[in-house]
């Protein structure tokens, strides 16, 4: 499971480099391990999350669950906790949506404070209505924590695939950029907030998103 962390000044770039970046037991364990380490950093800090190639994340590893059904429950619990952990992460967070963000991958972007989406290709989508898999309470909580109510409802009810322009118009993402500039733009936006008081940022996150994080089971 490849999740690396790169330092760019006060910004840490978390790179998820595992093909489609599916959510399974191994990836959830690695995510929590990496975030636990980042949470110990003192001083100025902001976090950027990015995938690689054509995928930001393609969501839950349903093929893995078919072969190992006993892993489904613990993986979904770990994903819920990841949403809650990111909602309350004690520093500013930016999702650099380099490619497709589907299902759990799209939800993961909602756990971040800001979203920058690749302008030319890639979709943001909650396809559960087509898959016959209703969102859990934790999934609903993270989707509605930041998205405008009408955007969340449209995404959940229709399974629509949003390109960058429509995602921006609906308030699903705040910024778009050409492929080559997505990460640098995300890092620049994160760096603007990195020097601000992290104790206050953490307190404000608890006020804004504490209820949603508790629905997600965080803190555990």
DSSP state of 180: G
Residues linked to residue 96 through DSSP beta bridges, in sequence order = 50, 116
- CA 208/CA 200 separation, integer angstroms: 12
Backbone angles phi, psi at 4, to 5 degrees: -110, 160
- CA 8/CA 141 separation, integer angstroms: 31
Residues forming the active site: 128
By CB neighbour count within 10 A (0-12 exposed, 13-18 middle, 19+ buried), where does 34 fall?
middle
From first CA to last CA, the distance across the chain in angstroms is 24
Helix (H, G, I), strand (E, B) or coil at 111: coil
């Amino acid at each position: 499971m490849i999740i690396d962390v790169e330092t760019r000044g006060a910004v840490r770039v978390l790179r998820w480099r595992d093909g489609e970046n599916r959510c399974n037991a191994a990836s959830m364990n690695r995510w929590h391990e990496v975030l636990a380490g980042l949470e110990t950093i003192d001083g100025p800090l902001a976090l950027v999350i990015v995938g690689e190639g054509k995928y930001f994340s393609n969501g839950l590893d349903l093929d893995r669950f078919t072969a190992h059904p006993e892993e489904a429950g613990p993986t979904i619990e770990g994903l819920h906790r990841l949403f809650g952990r990111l909602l309350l992460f004690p520093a500013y967070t930016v999702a650099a949506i380099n490619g497709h963000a589907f299902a759990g991958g799209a939800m993961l972007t909602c756990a971040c404070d800001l979203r920058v989406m690749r302008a030319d290709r890639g979709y943001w989508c909650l396809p559960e209505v087509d898959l016959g898999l209703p969102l859990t309470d934790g999934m609903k909580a993270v989707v509605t924590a930041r998205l405008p109510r009408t955007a969340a409802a449209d995404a959940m009810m229709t399974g629509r695939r949003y390109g960058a322009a429509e995602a921006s118009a609906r308030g699903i993402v705040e910024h778009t950029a050409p492929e080559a500039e997505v990460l640098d733009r995300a890092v620049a936006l994160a760096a603007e907030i990195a020097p601000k008081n992290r104790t206050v940022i953490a307190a404000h996150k608890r006020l804004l998103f504490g209820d949603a994080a508790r629905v997600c089971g965080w803190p555990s």
